[in-house]
Amino acid sequence: MHRFLRSIGFSHINTRQDMDKLLGIIMNEPDQTKKIALSKNHIYTEFTKEFASHAGIVVRGEYDEKGFFHIEHHFPYLKGTILSTVSDITVNKRVDTDAFTGMCDDIRLGISMIFYLQNAVDYLMLDCSDNTPHKARTYLSGLALEGKILLGVEDNEEIKRRKSYRTRMRNQLIAMAKSGDQDAIDNLTIDEIDLSAQINRRIRTEDLYSIVETSFIPYGSESDNYQILGTIVNWSCVKNQYSGEEIYQLLISCNDIVLTIGINKDSLVGEPMIGRRFKGIIWMQGAVDFQKI
């Protein structure tokens, strides 16, 4: 069983029999079916069924030459509803399963962000080799097994204006540094030294989470897992129609990137509110629109 099933309201799926029953419902009554012929006798197929608003399970596999369907794998998903980034996306096939990961370089993060590709059939329809850059829109989301709600950092319009200006200047320097501008590299190095000195000074008398407003850090050995700290922009509580469990869907702003986080209501410590922050470890997913720029 996929361990993130709990995040979309399936915390009581504990046996193979329960999982097989659920997979049978998805394949017999899918909300959406996508197919692509990989060869003459093998048809790659994707069954999708939504069990809560924007959340559900995808079953992937192949039909063989005799018409039998062989399940390769399945995974829970949460669709991102807000455009997160417009940048070059490269896609690669995973080694362990017949699935794909996407990678994009967004200057707002300063790192290469890797996510699990939700719409694999759309990518296969491009009929291109892996690691080919695609300029595309990406809608990011994440599933969390557990998380905490923290108080927000008090801001006023002047502070927000200064933060916005510093962010724009830093993003410009990062873009220039990537193109080989030595002055930009030197300026970024000096900024990092100054920032480190400020943190060392403030940490003596202030709480860590009053200094660090948001963060985005790779976590563990899985390339698409991240530890995030982000500000709640909006939120809702929806119900899984199959299990009856409630799910929080949190719209998070993290390092100026907006993404949707799904978490079981019983797994979240604290009460979400706009302006408060979410802290947790997420499995990053993304739906990529390969057609539009």
Residue 275's CB is within 10 A of a number of other CB atoms, namely 12
pLDDT for residue 266 is more than 70: yes
Dump pLDDT digits (tens) for 12-44.
Answer: 888 889 898 999 999 999 999 998 887 777 788
The sign of the dihedral angle between the CA atoms of 229, 230, 236, 241 is negative
Percent of the chain with pLDDT over 70: 93
The topology under which CATH files domain 3-78 is: N-terminal domain of TfIIb (2.20.25)
For residues 83 and 159, the model is more confident at 83
By C-alpha distance, which of 228, 284, 289, 233 is closest to 77?
284
The C-alpha angle with vertex 60 and arms to 54 and 62, in degrees rounded to 5, equals 150
Q: Are 59 and 22 in contact (CB under 8 A)?
A: no
pTM for the model: 0.84
Instruction: Note the pLDDT tens digit of each residue in 272-285.
Output: 999 999 999 999 99
Give 244-265 pLDDT, tens digit per residue: 999 999 999 988 889 999 999 9
